[in-house]
Structure 1
Amino acid sequence: MNKFKGNKVVLIGNGMVGSSYAFSLVNQGIADELSIIDLDTNKVKGDVADLNHCVAYSPSPIRINAGTYEDCKDADLIVICAGAAQKPGETRLDLVAKNTNIFKGIVDEVMKTGFDGIFLIATNPVDVLSYAVMKLSGLPKERVIGSGTILDSARLQYNISEIFNVAPSSVDANMLGEHGDSSLAHWSHANVAGKSVKEVLDNKDPNAAEEMFVKTRDAAYEIIEAKGSTYYGVAMGLARITKAIFSDENAVLTVSGYLEGEYGHDGVYTGIPAVINRNGIREIIEVALDEDEQKKFAHSVDVLKGFQAPIDEIL
């Protein structure tokens, strides 16, 4: 992929996550061009007009239009937010077969145009669907990225920041594994200015770390119960990944990447720290895991592999 191409995004799926992401792009001046595709063409028309009315106050100009799949042929980044939404009481992995079938139609249409950029996946279950997109598209693994645990990590950083009374951006802590119920907090390396978060929590209360992990892991269920779905947090996470790609940042972010021997596992997309630049995932960072974290990470991988099996049948 030519790293000196433009910054054109095609957004497929203009629901709450998609439209929140689109607003984030305009608000932060991240892209040069944005095409929006959705079955609800009336909503697309309305959002395009509404977003264009923001451009006068955006940090930089951006062209926004109601798109078709033909817009994908010269896109630099395609962001997929389409699919069935998670309902109250439903896990992300309950959505596997439903959304895999939706994605098959989407990716087939995209690849017919000759698209040769990067896919960024947000739809749940994001790890499993990132695997599906890689298989369906035939693109190299580094150019299919899932949002992974970027939101989970932001939630953990926020929760820790409340304890330490510092900005969330000053917290170095990540969630790893599935974006879902089998995720794990990387406590062995979580710190604020080098000070161990786990030690501080343990001194406060022996159960504090576990309680914070559960609060972080289950945050989506509480939000879904309260307002039907989550969208602002993941939209900002997608915008952050987009910025890292278009700015060729070599930024380390916890995205869903494809393992080929890293962490002792193969053939699965899961949330890990990775270096993101104009070519996608430059490399996966193998952080040290303690014995308990290794077991939990292995369990999370097993869960995801179990849900990948039906995808191979569908594809």
Structure 2
Amino acid sequence: MNAMTKEVTRIALIGSGFVGASYAFALLNQGIASELVIIDKNGQKAEGDAMDLSHGLPFAPSMRVWAGDYADCKDADLVVITAGANQAPGETRLDLIDKNARIFKSIVADVMKSGFQGIFVVATNPVDVLTYATWKYSGLPAQQVIGSGTILDSARLKYLLGEYFQLDSRNVHAYVMGEHGDTELPVWSNTSIGGRSLHDYREQYGKPTQEELDRIFGNVRDAAYHIIERKGATYYGIAMGLARLTKAILWNENSILSVSALLTGQYGLDGVYIGVPAVINRAGIREIVELKLSDDEMRKLHASADVLKKAIHTIMK
């Protein structure tokens, strides 16, 4: 609950798998909302998670947690969708399009039947494509439909740069843009370390070299594959990213986060949801932040958008 306003804030979580349950745990620990309803096709799993989380309430900020159904979405401020098929070893995020698009059409229809008029947050992969689909299926304004986008990729980049410079990653400002997937790109031209641009660091110290930057970004881009190989799925990092996004919305922060947002001319692109920095507040996406990109970064962003537009066409034709 927002301690400043004491207003009741309800989150409806759809999907109580690894990501959903981890997100719920993060919400409880951080005291971001006052109500959480968990909806899952496996009702017993949703009930079990609600019970388990509720038993931790004596150690956490106050929050009402229960297993519910789509009717509970009517009064929700936020519907967060983590339901869908998981990425298997060897699969790309785009390989999940067909099966998850079918799941989403049903989910969004059921949510909208409740009378929901809040904000959708989409985390299921391929997140950019499914966020576009959610916008179309729901009929809500684009500012109220947000994908987790490259929020986790940007966090991974900050973490690895922090390790390289031996600095707290919270003092690193860096963005990954584009598809949450194989065509994403690091925005080195706008990266700063403790207020100093990456360009200044490289000019003064001759490092990190381009080879080192390429290695760091390769580890960012391929992180999910490495984690899936080791433990079968990724969920803690994205859950923390979703909690951060949720807080920015419900607490009306006007924070800049790299999310999947609909472009309507920004960066010379139109009609595609893609990972970009955006100002996030209680209304959802207040505005897209247009960074000054290098020519190479702009080319890569457009190439990434082309991949996403083709993927969108396969489910929205």
What range describes the TM-score normalised by the shorter chain of this pair?
over 0.9
C-alpha distance in structure 2 between counterparts of 1:199 and 1:192, whole Å: 10
Paired residue for 2:265, among 261, 269, 273? 261
Aligned residues: 310
Does structure 1 residue 29 correspond to structure 2 residue 47?
Answer: no
Deviation at 1:224, TM superposition (A): 0.3
State the TM-score, normalizing by the size of structure 2: 0.95
SS where residue 276 of structure 1 aligns? Answer: strand
Relative to structure 1, the CA distance from residue 5 to residue 307 in structure 2 (aligned partners, 3 Å threshold; closer, same or farther) is farther
Paired residue for 1:312, among 309, 313, 316? 316
Paired residue for 2:233, among 229, 232, 235? 229
Amino acid at match of 1:40: N
C-alpha distance in structure 2 between counterparts of 1:10 and 1:232, whole Å: 19
Deviation at 1:200, TM superposition (A): 4.2
Q: Give the match for residue 291 of structure 1.
A: 295
Superposed CA deviations along residues 179-237 of structure 1, whole A, max 9, x for unmatched, are: 00000000001111232335646634331111111111000000000000000000000
Q: CA RMSD in A?
A: 1.4
Moved over 4 A (4+): 198-202
In structure 1, the gaps of 5 or more residues are none
Q: Give the match for residue 68 of structure 2.
A: 67
Does structure 1 residue 275 correspond to structure 2 residue 276?
Answer: no
Superposed CA deviations along residues 243-271 of structure 1, whole A, max 9, x for unmatched, are: 00111000000000000000000000000
Relative to structure 1, the CA distance from residue 4 to residue 143 in structure 2 (aligned partners, 3 Å threshold; closer, same or farther) is farther
C-alpha distance in structure 1 between counterparts of 2:255 and 2:72, whole Å: 28
Q: Give the match for residue 243 of structure 2.
A: 239
Task: State how 1:13-162 maps to structure 2 within 5 Å.
Answer: 13-58=15-60, 60-162=61-163
Relative to structure 1, the CA distance from residue 111 to residue 210 in structure 2 (aligned partners, 3 Å threshold; closer, same or farther) is same
Identity of aligned residues (%): 55
Q: Give the match for residue 10 of structure 1.
A: 12
In structure 2, the gaps of 5 or more residues are none
C-alpha distance in structure 2 between counterparts of 1:290 and 1:88, whole Å: 34
User: Do the aligned partners of 1:142 and 1:279 also contact (CA within 8 Å) in 2?
Assistant: yes
Amino acid at match of 1:297: L
Amino acid at match of 1:34: L
Deviation at 1:13, TM superposition (A): 0.4
Superposed CA deviations along residues 116-136 of structure 1, whole A, max 9, x for unmatched, are: 000000000000000000000
Amino acid at match of 1:100: A
Amino acid at match of 1:160: L
